[in-house]
Structure 1
Amino acid sequence: MMQAIKDQLNVDKGRELGLEEGRKLGLEEGHQLGLDEGRKLGLDEGHKLGLDEGHKLGLEEGQTIGEERFAKLVARLNEDGRQDDIVRAATDPAFRANLFSEYSIGLE
């Protein structure tokens, strides 16, 4: 009977140690999976934020270039006394494109 009690204590101790070791391994694996998933989510989110920021900067730069380009066209048309064409260029994209070509005002 004493041996049965000792055997049961050993089984209980082994189970406790096994549970503890299993918990530790599970925590380590879960932590690593969490890091990997977090890294992936971070990369995805960083990529999206980078795209958004790049798009915003590109729009701002494009707007600046477009404004400068149109200002050059208006100045050249004014020098040539073509005030009516300034108004038309402001409202007619095809006409404006022809004027950019005529005055060789490209994207710089």
Structure 2
Amino acid sequence: MENHFQGAPKIKVEARPSDIKLYIDSRIQRDSNFSDRVKEGTAKDGNLKEEIYHTIINKAQGIFVLAEMHMNHLLPFGQGTVGDIRSALSKLPKGQSATFQTAFQRIKSQSDIHKN
């Protein structure tokens, strides 16, 4: 297929950090447990929301779907503690390949659990 498009102009589309921030805000607001933990983390020892922004924007590398995948991974940790969120945040993979590989491993482990 690439042969058919040789010489065609290429356009690189990147999500701007401000767009990713808006997306993160909307996801946090829609999940009351996660929102409560973020508020708690901000009140206790710094701005957890800023940590989330910085980490996801950095690790998504301008690819919006990666930011979405990272938020999908983080939101369940709202059921736990601020420390759980920070721990999960620190373990988020960087870039496309690592993020998809981590997602596939998570899916595989879930399907293995359902088999038993």
Common topology (TM > 0.5): no
Larger RCO of the pair (alpha carbons < 8 Å, separation 6+): 2
TM class, shorter-length: under 0.3
The structure richer in helix per residue is 1
TM-score (norm 2): 0.26
